[in-house]
Amino acid sequence: MAALVDTLLQRSLDDLIKSLRSQPTLESSIISRSISEIRREIRSTNPLTKSTALQKLSYLSSLHFLDISWSSFHSLELLPSPSFTFKRLAYLSASLSFHPSSDLLLLATNQLRKDLSPSSPSPVISLALDFLSLTASPDLARDLTPEIHSLLSSPNPSIRTKATATALRIFTRYPDSVRVAFKRLVDNIDSSAAIGVFCELSASDPKPYLPLAPDFYRLLVGSKNNWILIKVLKIFARLAPLEPRLARRIVDPVCEHLRRSNAKSLVLECARTVALSLADYDEAVRLVVEKVGEFLASEDDANLRYLGLHVLSMLGPRHSWAVEMNKELVIKSLCDPDANIRREALLLIMEMLFESNVVDISILLVSFASKSMPNPEFCNDILEAVLSACGRNVYELVMDFDWYVGLLGQMSRNPHCAKGDEIERQLVDIGLRVKDVRPELVCIARDLLIDPTLLGNSSIHRILSAAAWVSGEYAEFSRNPLELLEALLQPRTNLLPTSVSAVYIQAVFKVLTFCFCSYFERLESGHMLSSLGNPIAGTGCQEESDASTVVFGKGDNAAVGNLNNTGAIGCKPDSLSGSVNLDEQFTHASVLRMLNLIETAMVPLSNWGVVEIQDRALSVLCLIHMLQRFQVWNRDEEGLRKDGRVSEFANLMAGVFNQELGPVSANSQKRVSVPDGLILKENLADLTAVIGEEVNVSVSASTSFFHRKHHNGETGEETKILTESTSLLSEHRKRHELYYLPAGKDEAQSNDYPPANDPQLPVSQCGASEDLVELDDQPLLSRHRKPTKPRPVVVKLDDVDVRENSAPESTVDLKDDLLSGAVCDVLLGNEDNKPTKTQKKSAKSQRRKKDRPTYVEPASASQLRESGNLVHVELGSSSSKISRHGHSKEKQSSSQGIEDNEDGSQKNLTNSQHHYRKHKHRQDRDALPNLLPQTPVIQDFLL
């Protein structure tokens, strides 16, 4: 009774849709209510109620994305219904609730078998095939292979077509089914569905389908169906690279289609085939370029313009003239309203980038990006393309680095620029790798730092961070370090995120150190010069007060505020201080002022909430206080000079940032081999005992680390510490020889790459610094570069290059491999040998593929002459059975081939045609020992 009530009161799918449409805001509650209804209705024994419930469920699953896998059993219950309407609904909901790994799928096998029987009405078969194509699991595919096999020769063309499409899924899920059903597929090769299946199959591994080339060729020449032609062309595009003679054969028909066809889709496919596989044939390429020109010129059809560019970019790298011919249209496409076309044009242009034109094109693109962009997204696409093209393979395209860092600066000023990360990376990276560009780099960095407007744009803060780092690290190239300090300390820097602020403070620290040291150096040399009686230096010292007012004038007026007003965006430093001699900037007063300026700026930062900033600010302050402790500041320069402590301190500070930083290879740690007997994962529990003993040693070791590489001579005390520590170290080494890296090896390894910025390993202290100097230069010379061009040296790391170059090999997964193996066997007639285990089979076919490359059978030579173009190619098979689509000649030649091979093919070599002799000879040596045990079948290529 309840069931009857359900049936009578059940809401239909239309009701559900109507209620969903009438109250769009209550959608989710309506859905959940109907789901609970459906859960009740679906259990009904009345097929009508059940089917309506399933129908509603299908709707909700398909368009409201509900998971309905729970209903799969109910769909199964309705599948056997005699009513086609119910069956259709059941299949639809089953196809939505099942997937290839569903457990219940096996329960459907019998019903599917029944529905797939040739006696069923064709719409029923269609439903079952559709379901099977969507959900076939390996088991289901295995069980239903015979049904598909018989349907492949159904008299109804529509069923045949559908069975063909389903066969593709069966083959991929259960590769052994190929052995049963593949022949039928080959028989149907004239149908578009079968060609589609071959096209799909050849996508993953085209090689097994080479023997079908004659059939494909016949279709290419004879078929009038554009769908078939397109698929055949796709197949040939994949086969042609495997067999050079194939390309020669198909080039004429392809050209013919290019000339004759009115169907744009076919023309497009021909053009693509030429671009992919026939790029050697000039006539074909010329035709394609002509057609592409027509595509590009079609004003009213954006699709054709887009596809034209697409084909052009496939032709591009090899036939640059093709792009050159259409240059205007390509450049024009950069302004196309269609984003696809713009992007494709950009891609094309970037592919045409060579050393010779990289400067022009990059300038063009970057200025294009900065002026005419209503579209920030595309503007960034352009910037990204330029960055990645120029940065590719350690800047291999860039000859003039001064120009390139200038370009980076220009990109940073683009208001839409969102590529801060990459520009930051490249600025720092170029600084590390290219020594010659550092002065220009510092100049660019200064221009960026000094511009207060840039600080407001958060997307380029990363670039500013790089600029700050560069100008700190290479402060010695700065033309006006004092100005740089002001830029680094300007008030708007409080807009920076903390990570960048930290870099700024560190840069201040470095510049301060540099200024102080060079000021002091000047004092010393000035003293020496004046003691030698140099009048110029003498006057320089005496007129110190004048100099200070001249040079530091700007700073004096408004040390900080001034910078806000200047807004010196494009101003080159030349205009500000180019004429000023660096030495003259460091006067007594200016240095003093500098210290005050820094102190004023740092004091608030030392109370900052972020430790990164607080930490660095405090160390800067600490340095300043130390400097100020020398009361001599109140005295004149003469007094300063005489104070030994000051000079000692200057030398010390000069040493702190003395070590040059280099690029560090990501793999350098891996290169250090683990010595025998050292177990890295061993528990370190007993270490505490050792530490107690060694604590002195470690302290002095760290001291030596701090004083790395002084070349200004240490004080006596320091040397003492050093020698003490080295002696301790050597003692330690003696005791724990085992845990030390072998010294000799160490040097050999570091030969390959520049020293990482880690402290020297405790090898002999005396020679280390000279070694390092040498090592620094080593990799610069080792890398290839073009000797004809005065390109600055770019440091490269061997292993990084290797890693970049070795692209991961494309791996064919096991399924594909099994499938290819099975197809090989079927096409070459190896079906007696039914496998019991697919694994074994695959291993075999794999081995065969490896062992036996395409092999030209000499016996065919005479036939070749007879039949004009008959060429025999052996493709590897171990059976003498002849594949069914072969030709009468094949039989003859195959048996002959076997005999020849068994006799040993040396004698055949003599009567083989000259054309093949060389090839054959090589094959003999390589392949024959492997070939002999297996008797090969010769495959005809009637092309």
Partner 1 sequence: MIRAVIVMNTQGKPRLTKFYDFQPPEKQQEMIRKVFGVLCNRPENVSNFIQADDIFGPDCKIVYKHLATLYFIFVFDSSENELAMLDLIQVFVETLDRCFKNVCELDVVFNFNKMHTILNEIILGGQVLETSSEEVMKAIEEISRLEKSTSAVSLIPKAVSGKLGR
Pick out residues in 126-145 that bind partner 1 (CB under 8 A).
126-127, 129-130, 133-135
Nearest CA-CA partner of 338 in 302, 377, 301: 302
Residue 117 lies near partner 1 (rule: CB under 8 A):
no
Q: Give the span between the Cα atoms of 729 and 722, in whole angstroms.
A: 10
855 beta partners:
874
CB of 924 to partner 1, least distance (A): 39
Interaction mask 51-90, partner 1, x per CB under 8 A:
-x--x--xx-xxx-xxx--------------xxxxx-xx-
**Direct distance between the N- and C-terminal alpha carbons of the chain, in angstroms, rounded to an integer:** 74
CB of 337 to partner 1, least distance (A): 6
Q: Report the residue from 341, 444, 873, 937 that binds partner 1 according to the rule CB under 8 A.
A: 341
Residue 47 lies near partner 1 (rule: CB under 8 A):
yes
When the beta carbons of 373 and 927 are compared against partner 1, the nearer one is 373
Residue 265 lies near partner 1 (rule: CB under 8 A):
yes
Instruction: Assess contact for 795 and 434: CB atoms under 8 A.
Output: yes
Binding segment for partner 1 (CB under 8 A), chosen from 32-40, 121-129, 422-430, 907-915, is: 121-129
CB of 8 to partner 1, least distance (A): 6
Instruction: Assess contact for 467 and 427: CB atoms under 8 A.
Output: yes
Residue 467 lies near partner 1 (rule: CB under 8 A):
no
Q: Report the residue from 37, 100, 154, 887 that binds partner 1 according to the rule CB under 8 A.
A: 100
When the beta carbons of 271 and 464 are compared against partner 1, the nearer one is 271
Place of tokens 């300007």: 490
Instruction: Assess contact for 181 and 149: CB atoms under 8 A.
Output: yes
When the beta carbons of 1 and 684 are compared against partner 1, the nearer one is 1
Parallel, antiparallel, or unpaired for β 855-856 and 938-942? unpaired
How many residues bind partner 1 (CB under 8 A)? The answer is: 79
Q: Give the span between the Cα atoms of 637 and 521, in whole angstroms.
A: 12
CB of 308 to partner 1, least distance (A): 11
Half-sphere exposure for 464 (CA within 13 Å, toward CB): 32
Q: Give the span between the Cα atoms of 23 and 259, in whole angstroms.
A: 58
CB of 241 to partner 1, least distance (A): 15
Residue 664 lies near partner 1 (rule: CB under 8 A):
no
Segment holding 872, helix H or strand E: strand 870-874
Buried b (16+ CB within 10 A) or exposed e, 584-618: bbbbbebbbbbbebbeebbeebbebeeeebbebbb
When the beta carbons of 337 and 787 are compared against partner 1, the nearer one is 337
CB of 118 to partner 1, least distance (A): 16
Q: Give the span between the Cα atoms of 935 and 931, in whole angstroms.
A: 7
**In sequence order, what are the residues at sequence separation of 6 or more whose Cβ sits closer than 8 angstroms to the Cβ of residue 882?**
829, 890, 891, 894, 937
CB of 65 to partner 1, least distance (A): 4
Report residue 774 CA to chain centroid gap: 35
Binding segment for partner 1 (CB under 8 A), chosen from 163-171, 425-433, 516-524, 876-884, is: 163-171
Q: Report the residue from 104, 107, 165, 359 that binds partner 1 according to the rule CB under 8 A.
A: 165
Nearest CA-CA partner of 333 in 274, 382, 270: 382
Q: Report the residue from 234, 479, 510, 588 that binds partner 1 according to the rule CB under 8 A.
A: 234
CB of 161 to partner 1, least distance (A): 5
Residue 46 lies near partner 1 (rule: CB under 8 A):
yes
CB of 726 to partner 1, least distance (A): 58
Residue 313 lies near partner 1 (rule: CB under 8 A):
no
User: Which amino acid, residue 860?
Assistant: S
SS3 of 725, please? helix
CB of 849 to partner 1, least distance (A): 23
Q: Contacts with partner 1 in 170-189 (CB under 8 A)?
A: none
Q: Give the span between the Cα atoms of 278 and 622, in whole angstroms.
A: 71
Q: Contacts with partner 1 in 192-221 (CB under 8 A)?
A: 192-193, 196-197, 199-200, 203
Segment holding 50, helix H or strand E: helix 47-64
Q: What burial class does residue 858 get, using C-beta atoms within 10 Å of its C-beta: 0-12 exposed, 13-18 middle, 19+ buried?
A: buried
Q: Give the span between the Cα atoms of 668 and 71, in whole angstroms.
A: 57
Residue 15 lies near partner 1 (rule: CB under 8 A):
yes
Q: Report the residue from 39, 227, 351, 895 that binds partner 1 according to the rule CB under 8 A.
A: 227
Binding segment for partner 1 (CB under 8 A), chosen from 160-168, 281-289, 496-504, 782-790, is: 160-168
Nearest CA-CA partner of 231 in 245, 242, 216, 221: 216
Tokens read off for 704:
């030596």
Q: Give the span between the Cα atoms of 506 and 467, in whole angstroms.
A: 12
Distances (CA, A) of 275 to 230, 241, 287: 15, 12, 11
CB of 260 to partner 1, least distance (A): 17
When the beta carbons of 372 and 673 are compared against partner 1, the nearer one is 372
Segment holding 163, helix H or strand E: helix 157-173
Residue 306 lies near partner 1 (rule: CB under 8 A):
yes
When the beta carbons of 63 and 773 are compared against partner 1, the nearer one is 63
CB of 196 to partner 1, least distance (A): 5
When the beta carbons of 258 and 640 are compared against partner 1, the nearer one is 258
Q: Give the span between the Cα atoms of 114 and 191, in whole angstroms.
A: 26
Binding segment for partner 1 (CB under 8 A), chosen from 40-48, 661-669, 738-746, 845-853, is: 40-48
CB of 89 to partner 1, least distance (A): 7
Binding segment for partner 1 (CB under 8 A), chosen from 4-12, 325-333, 613-621, 706-714, is: 4-12
Binding segment for partner 1 (CB under 8 A), chosen from 141-149, 211-219, 265-273, 874-882, is: 265-273
Tokens read off for 367:
């200025």
Instruction: Assess contact for 167 and 129: CB atoms under 8 A.
Output: no
When the beta carbons of 343 and 796 are compared against partner 1, the nearer one is 343
Q: Report the residue from 2, 5, 9, 684 that binds partner 1 according to the rule CB under 8 A.
A: 9
Residue 269 lies near partner 1 (rule: CB under 8 A):
yes
Q: What is the residue-wise DSSP string for 685-708?
A: TTHHHHHHHHHHHHHHHHHHHHT-
569 beta partners:
none
